[in-house]
Amino acid sequence: MSIATPPLTNFTAGELSPRLEGRIDLAKYFNGCRKLVNFHVHPHGGVTRRSGFRFVRHALSSEKQGLLIPFEFNPDQTYILEFGEQGGTGKMRVFANHGLVVGDDGKPFVLDVPYKASELERLRYVQSNDVLVLVHANHPPRTLTRRGHAVWKLEDMTFLGTPKVWGRNNYPSCCCFFEQRLVLAATPEQPGTIWFSRTGSMRDLRLRTCEAPKEKWRDRIITGTGKGSSAEQFTVLAGGLFDAGGGVRGKTPEGKNCYYRYKGDRIYAPESANLKLSFVDNPGSTARYIETIHGSDGKLREEFWEQIMAGDRIVSNAGEEPLDDDALEVTLAGREGNNIEFLVPRARLWVGTSGGEWTIGSSGTGVLTPSCVKADHQGSCGSLGARPETVGCEALFIQRSGSKVRGMGYRDESDAYASRDLTLLSEHIAGPGLTQLAYAQEPDSVVYALRKDGTLACLTLEPDEDVVAWSRLETDGEIVAIACVHHGESRRDELWVLVRRECGGQTVCNVEYLEARTDTNPASAFFVDSGLTYRGAPTKRLRGLEHLAGRNVAVLADGAVHPDVHVDADGTIALEREASVIHAGLPYESIIQPMRLEAGSSRGTAQTKRKRIVRVAVRFHDTLGGGVGPSADNLEPVYFRSPADRMDNPPELWAGDKRVLFPKGWNRDGVLTVVQRQPLPMTVLMIVPEMVINE
């Protein structure tokens, strides 16, 4: 026999695939877990139990799909926009400061929107200052403008030079901003086409323009702008031409210099002598007369003329070169399907299609222009129609199968853009498939991936430190939508969710957010789901839990664990003792189960040999409660109270080592588990088992 104490110093490999159970030759094996549920992995190596989800409001609909969109005007003014459907009509609500925004009338602000619940999955957006651009294949592009805390307006976008292919149920389905251009892409009929607006003008999609006045316009001068009068004249020289697109210099009815461009169908071409053209109301068939610019009412006759001021941008004639800042249109042409699924603006525009990854940029060293466009096919992974998230130098997207998360970025070793598989060592983490991503940058870099079964896959990603660690966040219910938004007061990014739960025999959908972690005071620990907090005079009765009526809830009262209680039909609970700070909500279980222990033996590996874990030492940080054992059903509790603690008061959060006798005999697995079920915090920094191996 031999005795070993293999130290598990960090968990930066996260939950590993069951396919790696035998890969003790893999370095990440010793930093990975068989199970890592309801824990966040820190880039430093330890794991912290996730906080609870705090209840905010019932969602717009309990049955139909909803959508959460983050809106950040500045670090201190951030919002979550909830889209849903009620009574067959699309609706939008606004959340700020952890509550529902209300108008001046004291009622919650609700905006009617044209997007039905069945369309929300494909609704895409991009923000510029206080304007959110919304696109969907079945709807024309629209802007959602914030004009006040409870004043939001949704309007159709009006474009100059709207592409003719756009129309009913055939509008762009992707959008972003790139080099001061609005980029729209992928209509159902042209799924591989991208439209770039003019630089600095996101509503100008004209492909070929010039600045007024055009050549010869200054030579064609009229004396004024009469109202249907024939007093105005100009001359077309012999050999010249005046037809659609031709312009004359004149004045506005207010007397300002301007130009008028002819839009009519008539052609004036003098053959041998100069032709003097006069303006009359009814030119009839006389060739020397042209339609008047203004009618008898003084208004511009727009069927024949357009008014242009000096410096205005106008559409040029065919064959003329576009200006460098003009709009442009690019169509991808590849071997496989090129239905564009996402756009990511970087030094080049990264484009994800169902068939592969592309980059679009200038063919030179400058900015993108109509005469300097280059599209490069970079990879062939293909992507799902889910909004990507940018993390550091990578763009994370869901592969088209829904089973992998890939990170697209530039690779020095290959001098190309490549997409690495971030789920390679955790191929099981996607479960039945992924549908949505959300990124929280503060306090740790964490990507949340929503699974079809309502579970969250959680990725701690620090590429510079080689930290790619997955865990799973589970709750009593099914999460159906996620979004992350910055919270100014706490200076952290918050995860907001739409989650369906069973309550009183009915399915309800709630808007909830993941509470911030508090490491200093046990009474502030919030580790219940769909929970609420009471702060005030000591009481034994708590109201306001109607959303949990009929459920049994976990309770933390003044930092001490209270026995679970039943929520009455009117949303009240009765406690056994008075408390002034009470957290009540649904309980959840957090599990850490490292990989099968490997410490070697005098005859090689410890794998498959009979072994016994005698005791386990765990290094905790700011922790109370929990247990250690071979499985979640067989645990030895960890005790934190000492004789020095005052009676009738909870112990302080513990930072240090705890040793526990292991409640299991000989076996060949060598598996240990750390579990927390109580509504209390837990952070595990290190685990050191003492193990006897039968040689």
Separation between Cα atoms, residue 679 and residue 523, nearest integer Å: 11
- Which pLDDT score, from 0 to 100, does residue 113 have? 97
Residue 407: both structure tokens together: 């990170």
DSSP letter string, 464-508: GGTEEEEEEE--SSEEEEEEEEEETTTTEEEEEEEEEEEETTEEE
Q: Is 116 exposed, middle or buried (0-12, 13-18, 19+ CB in 10 A)?
A: middle
Mean of pLDDT values over 394-421: 90
Long-range (24+ apart) CB contacts under 8 A made by 230-234 are 230/278, 230/279, 230/280, 230/289, 231/279, 232/278, 232/279, 232/292, 232/293, 233/276, 233/277, 233/278, 233/279, 234/276, 234/277
Residue 216: both structure tokens together: 């010869």
Dihedral Cα 170, 176, 181, 184, nearest 10 deg: -10
- Which pLDDT score, from 0 to 100, does residue 313 have? 86
- Which pLDDT score, from 0 to 100, does residue 648 have? 67
Separation between Cα atoms, residue 327 and residue 316, nearest integer Å: 13
pLDDT greater than 80 at residue 11: yes
Separation between Cα atoms, residue 50 and residue 591, nearest integer Å: 11
pLDDT greater than 60 at residue 618: yes
φ, ψ for residue 362, nearest 5 deg: -75, 140
Mean of pLDDT values over 274-289: 70
- The residue extents of the domains of the chain are 2-22+594-693, 209-320, 534-585
pLDDT greater than 60 at residue 286: no
Residue 411: both structure tokens together: 């690779």
3-state secondary structure 126-186: EEECCEEEEEECCEEEEEEEEEECCEEEEEECCCECCCCCCECCECCCEEEEECCEEEEEC
pLDDT tens track for 511-535: 999 999 876 788 889 999 999 999 9
For 154-166, letters b (16+ CB in 10 Å) and e give beebebbbbbeeb
Mean of pLDDT values over 44-50: 95
pLDDT greater than 90 at residue 563: yes
245, 281 Cβ separation under 8 angstroms = no
pLDDT greater than 80 at residue 643: no
Confidence grade of residue 244 (pLDDT, cut at 50, 70, 90): confident
- Which pLDDT score, from 0 to 100, does residue 283 have? 57
Residue for token pair 């309550």: 503
pLDDT greater than 60 at residue 2: yes
pLDDT exceeding 90 applies to what percent of the chain?
Answer: 66
Rounded alpha-carbon distances, angstroms, from residue 363 to 343, 373, 374: 19, 5, 5
Beta bridge partners of 351: 343, 358
Instruction: Return the minimum-mean-pLDDT range out of 3-12, 249-258, 276-285, 336-345.
Output: 276-285
- Which pLDDT score, from 0 to 100, does residue 644 have? 66
Rounded alpha-carbon distances, angstroms, from residue 512 to 38, 518, 530: 16, 18, 7
- As a whole number of Å, the end-to-end CA separation of the chain is 5
Separation between Cα atoms, residue 302 and residue 643, nearest integer Å: 91
pLDDT tens track for 135-189: 999 999 999 999 989 999 999 999 999 999 999 999 999 999 999 999 999 999 9
